[in-house]
Chain A
Amino acid sequence: MSADRKTILNATHREMGARMVPFGGWDMPVNYGSQIDEHHVVRKDAGMFDVCHMTVVDLRGMRTREFLSYLLANDVAKLQESGKALYSCMLKPDGGVIDDLIVYFMAEDWFRIVVNAGTTEKDIAWMQEHAQAFDVQVEGRFDLGMIAVQGPNAREKAMPLMAEELRTAVAELKPFNAATDGHWFVGRTGYTGEDGFEIVLPEAETAELWKALAVTGVAPCGLGARDTLRLEAGMNLYGTDMDESLTPLESGLSWTVAMKDERDFIGREALQAQKDAGGLRRFIAIVLEGRGVLRGHQKLFDGDREVGEITSGGFSPTLERSIAMARVAGDAGDNLTVDIRGKRLPLTKVKAPFVRNGKALI
């Protein structure tokens, strides 16, 4: 796989000793030594992630809310206070997931969306195709960098690095809200199950912030820890847990689909038909009883019957056991086994998330 795309922090990662790997066409740090140490530092203190490869998309125009109401499966009517964020899927007419994203309501004529790296081009094309009818301008902000600072001490360590006016606003932020001073944009959001910020800022200032955070004791972390943290937090990964061939209803994301009222949105009819047809596959969280590691695509069995497979799995450093998310037949029982290299090993079904705010929940 080629990895010719580099974030603005690429040289900084190399200077700081990161092990770099190709990731969806990007050359990204997988760890800075030990992935497990980085995982623990985020659960117990503060760590930071280069998320510059993700894309900020600004939507501008007086009818932006109306446009998003049609574009997204979750309902932007839930966004009433400026700064409030919402997690949503963007669907094809057949209900398949184009991407999952976070949308921030800033003003009636300005909503900001953060989309995944690997889906950026098709996301923007899709938005542009539908935005015209609403007179909404879709702008990919490739001039911005983004750093996620996560962990119980993340806010305390990051806030002193913000300009005074922004810092005052950020100190008041509730979870899943953002503030901006027109220069930096700070969301109290993340992908780890811990408190913290995602900081969006001009690309030219990004390396300076990364280095300043390191000086204040925020540990640089790689994509490896980011993946084990999000898995423990029970958060889906696009392309692994769901994609264009799957709907949110079979991906553990029914809670993000707002269908109670009559709102028309892309994919609604298909989702309704899928619901009406019944027999939906279930998206479950599982723990391996004994030793071993659950991995994506391992098959699950209910007795002798194959009932599904793991979508994402791995070793949980917090629980010191292997955990996974899986998609199984709607009528699969609770006593499941997994096939690992020809052996059937017993699983326990649990309720996600596995870990939140440093605490084991299972």
Chain B
Amino acid sequence: MSNIPSDLKFNSSHEWVRDEGDGLITVGISDHAQELLGDLVFVELPEVEATIQAGDECAVVESVKAASDVYSPLSGEITEVNEALADAPEIINTDPYIDGWIFKMQLIDAGEIENLMDAEAYAEHCESEED
């Protein structure tokens, strides 16, 4: 079973969100997502200062198998991207929730976080997709 930290929020396309306070969030892809993708070999990061709407494609993770879009779980402005992934995309495989973060974003409406799934709901979501 994949690791689903209880302090994070998730969306149905397998991104996770960490609430850093004051409307700032960190975003990555879940352990379940990296398992499905297999070894990652390339990450295309978003542009810092880009304004992104919830549901927009904002990054691409490519594994040995396929390219997969990363969708922004919420709306806001990109404040920082994880440059370390350019040289070492495999960090997402080994540590998807800490060192494998993809971007940070300042939300337009911090209240939107509450619309995302909690760990329990996300675990159910993953199980239902496997059926």
How far, in angstroms, from A35 to B66 measured CA to CA in the complex? Answer: 13
* B-contacting residues, A256-283, CB 8 Å: none
Is A315 on the interface with B (CB-CB < 8 A)?
yes
Q: Of all chain A residues, which has the CB nearest B60?
A: A341
Q: Which DSSP category, helix, strand, loop or mixed, fits chain B's interface?
A: mixed
- State the 7 A-B residue pairs at the shortest beta-carbon distance, nearest first: A315-B41, A293-B62, A36-B39, A35-B64, A293-B42, A35-B39, A35-B38
Asked whether, in the complex, the Cβ of B60 is within 8 Å of the Cβ of A224, the reply is no
Measured between beta carbons, the chain A residues less than 8 angstroms from B65 are 30, 35, 224
User: Complex: how many Å from CA A243 to CA B120?
Assistant: 47
What residues of chain B have their CB less than 8 Å away from a CB belonging to chain A?
Answer: 35, 38-39, 41-42, 44, 60, 62, 64-67, 86, 93
Complex CA gap A119/B93 in Å reads 35
- A binding-site residues for B, Cβ under 8 Å: 19, 30-31, 34-36, 224, 228, 291-293, 295, 314-315, 317, 322, 341
- A contact residues around B39 at 8 Å (CB): 34-36
Roughly how many angstroms separate A317 CA and B42 CA in the complex, as a whole number?
12
Chain B residues lying within 8 Å of A34, measured Cβ to Cβ, are: 38-39, 93
Contact indicator A291/B38 (Cβ below 8 Å): no
- CB contacts (< 8 Å) of A19 on chain B: these are 35, 38
In the complex, the answer to whether B67 meets A224 with C-beta atoms within 8 Å is no
Q: If A293-B67, A341-B60 touch, does A30 touch B41 (CB 8 Å cutoff)?
A: no
Contact B41 A293, beta carbon cutoff 8 Å: yes
Question: What are some 29 contacts across the A-B interface (CB < 8 A)?
Answer: A19-B38, A30-B65, A31-B38, A34-B38, A34-B39, A34-B93, A35-B39, A35-B64, A35-B65, A36-B39, A224-B38, A224-B64, A224-B65, A228-B64, A291-B42, A291-B86, A292-B42, A292-B44, A293-B41, A293-B42, A295-B66, A295-B67, A314-B64, A315-B41, A315-B62, A315-B64, A322-B41, A322-B42, A341-B44
- Residues of the B chain whose Cβ atoms lie less than 8 Å from the Cβ of A293: 41-42, 62, 67
Q: State how many angstroms separate the Cβ of A354 from the closest Cβ of chain B.
A: 15
Distance between Cα atoms of A36 and B35 in the complex (Å): 14
Chain B residue, CB-CB nearest to A292:
B42
Which of A36, A291, A292, A341 contacts B64 (CB under 8 A)?
A: A36
- Looking at B35, B60, B64, B65, the one whose CB has the most chain A CB atoms below 10 A away is B64
